[in-house]
Structure 1
Amino acid sequence: MIENPTPPGDEPRLAAVYGPDRPGLPRGRSSLPASVVREEQRRRLRGAVIAAVAEAGYAHTTVAMVVQRARVSRKAFYDHFAGVEDCFLSAMAEAQEAIVAEVMAPPRDAGRPSSSRELLRAALGAYLGLCAREPEYARCILVELPAVGPRALRGRLKGYGLVADVLRGWREHAARKHPEWPPAPEHAFTAAVGAVAELILVHVSAGRADELPALRDPLTEILLRIMDAPLPA
C-alpha cells in the first residue's frame, strides 16, 4: 500500500524513471482516492515518456517502454492517453508551462534583482540551470519534438511564444526607465528565443548540458543586443 506516492523532499524530475526501489501504484482497492491515483499515473507517464524519448528517440519509443519506466499498467496508459504522441505532447506542454513559471519566479538564493540587467540575467540563469538539470527535456524539445508532426510543431511554437512574451515584458519594463530607447521590432523577441535555443541545442547534442550555466553572462549580452536594450554592465 502506498500512502504517499510522491514522498516529501523527493520531487520528481521532468524526466522520471521509477526503478525497483520505487514501488508501483496499488492495484485494485486501496486507501488512496481514485483522483490521487489517476494524477500520480499521469505524472509518472509524462515523466517516463520524456525519459524514454530522450534515450531512444521519438520514432523508436513504444507504449511498452513508457509503462515499464512509469511502473503503471498498459491499461492505465490508455486510460489517460491515445498513444505515445498524445502522451509525449501532453508531457512537453506541461513541462513548458513549468519552466516558464520557474523562469518567472524570484531567485531562491537572493533578494529580487536590483536592476533590469540583473533581472534578465537571473531569469536566463534559471532557465540554463534547469536545462542543465533536465538534459532529457532539452533534448526532447530541441531535437525530438520537431520530428513528431504538425501538432508538435504548434506546441513548440507555443512554448517559444511564451518565452518571447517573457522577454517582451522584460524589455517593456526596462524601457520605461530608458525613454531614449527606440521600440524593439517584434521579430527581435523571436530571434532572442532562437539564439538561446540554438546554443542550448549545441551543448545538449554534444552531451555537455552541464556546461549550460556558464553561458549565462555571454547569453545575457547577446539578448541585450538582439532586443536593442543597451544597459550598462
Structure 2
Amino acid sequence: MPESAVTARQLPRGRHGLPREIVVAAQRDRILLAMAEAMAENGYVGTPVAAVIKRAGVSRETFYEQFRSKEDCFEAAYERAVELLLTGMLAVTGLEIEGETEAARMERVLGAYLDALSAEPAYARLFLVEVYAVGPEAIARRTQLQETFVAIVADILEADTDQQHFACQTLVAALSAMVTNRIAIGDLEGLRALREPLMDLVRRSGGLFGTIPLADGPEPENAD
C-alpha cells in the first residue's frame, strides 16, 4: 500500500520550534485527510472517531480541540474536498487560450474535473458517495455545487434557451451519476475514460445543449 499523504504530512518529532498556528493547521490537514481515507475504506457509518484519530496520528484531545463531533469533522472534510475538486476546474474555466473554440474549452474543463476526482479518490468518494449518509444539509450542499457546475457548462456551451439550460442540467446530472458509480467501485481508469464519449455526445448534439461551433457533425439548429 503506498504511503498515505497523512504520513507524509506528519510534523517532526520532538522540539521543532514551529509556530502554534502551523502545528494546528498541520494537525487539521491530517485529521481531514484521515477522515476521507477512513471513510473510503469503511464508509461514514463505519468510521468512528477513534479510527480517524489513529490514522491521523493525533490525540483525542487534539481532535476535539478542532472538531465538535464526527459530523463536524466530516463537514470540514467535505469543504476541503470541494476546495480541492473545484479550484483547479474553476482555474481552467477562467483560462483564456487564443483561438480556442468553445468545444475545446469544454473538453478542457471536463478533463480538469475528471483529473481532479482521480487525483483525490478519497476526497472524491467523500464528496460524491459518503455525503448521502450524513443528512439532508450535506446533500443540499452537494446539489448546490452541482448547479454551479451546470452554470459553468451552460456558459461554455452558450445555452441561451430554457430548453438548452435544462439539457445542460441533464448532462451534468448524468455525468454526476457516472462519476459517482466509478468512484464508488474505485474505477479510476473508467473515470478518466468518460471524457472522450461525453465530448463526442456534446459534439453530435447539434443545438441541444447550446450554440457552440462543433468540430464535426451537423450545424447547430437555430434555437428560434
**Shorter-chain TM-score tier:** 0.7 to 0.9
- State the one-letter code of the partner of 1:210: E
2:136 maps to 1:154: no
- Where structure 1 has 5 or more consecutive residues not aligned to the other structure, the ranges are 1-15, 176-180
Supply the distance in 2 between the matched residues of 1:41 and 1:202 (Cα, whole angstroms).
31
Kept after mapping to 1: 8 A contact 2:164/2:210: no
Kept after mapping to 1: 8 A contact 2:9/2:26: no
The structure 1 segments of at least 4 consecutive aligned residues displaced by more than 6 Å after TM superposition are none
TM-score of the aligned structures, taking structure 2 as reference length: 0.79
Deviations 1:75-118 (A, max 9, x none): 111111111111112111222133222012249xxx66711111
Structure 2 counterpart of 1:115: 101
- Where structure 2 has 5 or more consecutive residues not aligned to the other structure, the ranges are 216-224
Kept after mapping to 1: 8 A contact 2:6/2:56: yes
TM-score of the aligned structures, taking structure 1 as reference length: 0.76
2:35 maps to 1:56: no
Kept after mapping to 1: 8 A contact 2:32/2:76: yes
Structure 1 counterpart of 2:218: none
Supply the distance in 2 between the matched residues of 1:57 and 1:193 (Cα, whole angstroms).
25
- Distance change >3 Å, CA 223–CA 54, structure 1 → 2: farther
Deviation at 1:59, TM superposition (A): 0.3
Supply the distance in 2 between the matched residues of 1:25 and 1:153 (Cα, whole angstroms).
38
Structure 1 counterpart of 2:198: 219
* SS across alignment from 2:157: helix
Decide which moves more: 151-160 or 214-223. 214-223
Structure 1 counterpart of 2:125: 139
How many residue pairs align between the two structures?
A: 207
Deviation at 1:141, TM superposition (A): 2.3
Kept after mapping to 2: 8 A contact 1:184/1:228: no
Supply the distance in 2 between the matched residues of 1:162 and 1:132 (Cα, whole angstroms).
20
Kept after mapping to 1: 8 A contact 2:39/2:47: yes
Kept after mapping to 2: 8 A contact 1:164/1:193: yes
Structure 2 counterpart of 1:91: 77
Aligned residues with identical type, % of pairs: 32
Kept after mapping to 1: 8 A contact 2:81/2:126: no
Q: Considering only aligned residues, what root-mean-square deviation do their CA atoms show, in Å?
A: 2.8
- The one of 114, 117, 121 aligned to 1:128: 114
Supply the distance in 2 between the matched residues of 1:23 and 1:97 (Cα, whole angstroms).
22
